[in-house]
Amino acid sequence: MLHCAPRAWLFAPVCAGYIPGMRHGEYALPFPDREAAGVLLADRLGHAVALAGWAGRILVLALPRGGVAVAKQVAVGLSAPMSVLVTRKIGHPGQPELGVGAIAEGLAPVVYDGDLLARLSLSPSDLAPVVTAERAELNRRVQVYRGGRPLPQVAGWCVIVVDDGLATGVTARAALRSLRAAQAGHLVLAAPVAAPAAAQEMRAEADQVVILAMPRRFRSVGQCYRSFGQLTDADVLGLLT
């Protein structure tokens, strides 16, 4: 069983919950599924974010696909509207699951993990074919999930960006930079679980970071859930409605 980092992470308070094995100052994993994690995250956000000052100007934006199932519960718990902010990971050409960068709608430049590129001896030009393919997939998902409509209004709003977990954080970084460029009034990044290093780095990108659990021996987001099935476009559309 995994345990998260201690309460010293002031920007990510530990939330009491129903998961067996919880200890004082720690949060036991795995979460049962994304929906259960979303309920807990909504409760934590209700206590951690000063939402009263943003009445009528709160928007929950999910990072699809997995983040949508978590964000649905957050939106319900906070009685806030929900939409999606489409991002795509830029994977290593020989190992697509290894994210070395990311793109987000509304943000032209690719956000790269510079340190990782250096360690892998990769340059942005090496990734040009991957970027082209991922931009095409990003545009396809915008068409499917929102009928090609632009993002909802974010300027001057409190925007809560929700994902099901952060491994490197590069996808969340691209999303947050896109919203910052769109002049969001207050940016909150929220996820049930994150690698400690990724959570720390996100403090420079968001006004608040709310993470329920940060396992010391983090290996992947999927290991932090008992049920972690892949969502389809149909699943996403069902959650959005």
Helix, coil or strand: residue 187: strand
For residue 68, the domain's CATH number is 3.40.50.2020
Domain presence at residue 119: no
Domain presence at residue 206: yes
- List, for residues 16-58, the tens digit of each pLDDT value: 333 343 332 345 689 999 999 999 999 999 999 999 999 999 9
Tell me the C-alpha distance between 196 and 100, whole Å: 18
Domain presence at residue 128: no
Domain presence at residue 76: yes
The confidence score (pLDDT) of residue 27 equals: 56
Number of independent structural domains in the chain: 1
Amino acid symbol at 190: A
- List, for residues 130-165, the tens digit of each pLDDT value: 999 999 999 999 999 999 999 999 999 999 999 999
Domain presence at residue 97: no
Model pTM above 0.85: yes
Tell me the C-alpha distance between 33 and 227, whole Å: 5
Domain presence at residue 3: no
Domain presence at residue 69: yes
The confidence score (pLDDT) of residue 241 equals: 87
Which residue shows structure tokens 């699951």? 97
For residue 115, give the nearest of 126, 136, 99 by alpha carbon: 99
**E strand or H helix that includes residue 208:** strand 208-213
Inter-residue contact 171 to 102 (CB < 8 Å) = yes
Range of the domain at 170: 34-86+150-240
How, if at all, do strands 186-193 and 208-213 pair?
parallel
Domain presence at residue 126: no
For residue 163, give the nearest of 112, 206, 217 by alpha carbon: 206
Q: Structure tokens of 207?
A: 């006004």
Report the first-to-last Cα separation within the chain, whole angstroms. Answer: 35
Distances (CA, A) of 144 to 59, 141, 185: 20, 5, 28
For residue 135, give the nearest of 110, 168, 161, 162 by alpha carbon: 110
- List, for residues 68-93, the tens digit of each pLDDT value: 999 999 999 999 999 999 999 999 99
What's the distance, CA 83 to chain centroid? 13
- List, for residues 95-134, the tens digit of each pLDDT value: 988 899 999 999 999 999 999 999 999 999 999 999 999 9
